[in-house]
Amino acid sequence: MMKKVTRMVGKYEVGRTIGEGNFAKVKFAQNRETGESVAMKILAKSTILKHKMVDQIKREISIMKIVRHPNIVRLHEVLSSRTKIYIILEFVTGGELFDKIVHQGRLSENESRRYFQQLIDAVAHCHRKGVYHRDLKPENLLLDAFGNLKVSDFGLSALRQKGVGLLHTTCGTPNYVAPEVLGHQGYDGAAADVWSCGVILFVLMAGYLPFEEIDLPTLCRKINAAKYSCPFWFSPVAKALIDKILDPNPKTRIGIEGIKKHPWFRKSYEPVGHSEEEEVNLDDVHAVFDDIEDHYVAEQLENSEGGPLVMNAFEMIALSQGLNLSALFDRRQDYVKKQTRFVSHKPAKVIISAFEAVAESMNLKFHTHNYKTRLEGISENKAGQFAVVLEVYEVGPSLFMVDARKASGETLEYHEFYKNFCAQLENIIWKPPEGC
Active site residues: 135
Burial class (CB in 10 A: 0-12, 13-18, 19+), 375: buried
Q: Under a CB-based contact definition with an 8 Å cutoff, are residues 364 and 349 in contact? A: no
CA dist list (Å): 418 to 48, 328, 358, 366, 406: 32, 16, 12, 16, 10
Q: Are 189 and 158 in contact (CB under 8 A)?
A: yes
What is the distance between the terminal CA atoms of the chain, rounded to a whole angstrom?
29
Q: Identify the helix (H) or strand (E) that includes residue 380.
A: none
Whether the Cβ atoms of residue 344 and residue 430 lie closer than 8 Å to each other:
yes
Exposed, middle or buried: residue 393 (CB in 10 Å: 0-12, 13-18, 19+)?
buried
The three-state secondary structure class of 28 is strand
Q: Which DSSP helix (H) or strand (E) runs through 207?
A: none
The verdict on whether residue 239 carries a ligand-binding annotation is no
CB 377 within 8 A of CB 370: no
* φ, ψ for residue 55, nearest 5 deg: -65, -40
Burial of residue 211 (CB within 10 Å: 0-12, 13-18, 19+) is buried
Note the maximum CA span of the chain. Answer: 67
Q: Say if residue 52 is exposed, middle or buried (CB neighbours under 10 Å; 0-12, 13-18, 19+).
A: exposed
- Alpha carbon distance 319, 397 (integer Å): 19
Q: What angle do CA 377, 84, 11 make, to 5 degrees?
A: 115
Q: Is 81 exposed, middle or buried (0-12, 13-18, 19+ CB in 10 A)?
A: middle
Please report the sign of the dihedral spanned by the C-alpha atoms of residue 294, residue 300, residue 304, residue 307.
negative
Q: Which residues are part of a known binding site for ATP?
A: 50
Q: Which residues are part of a known binding site?
A: 50
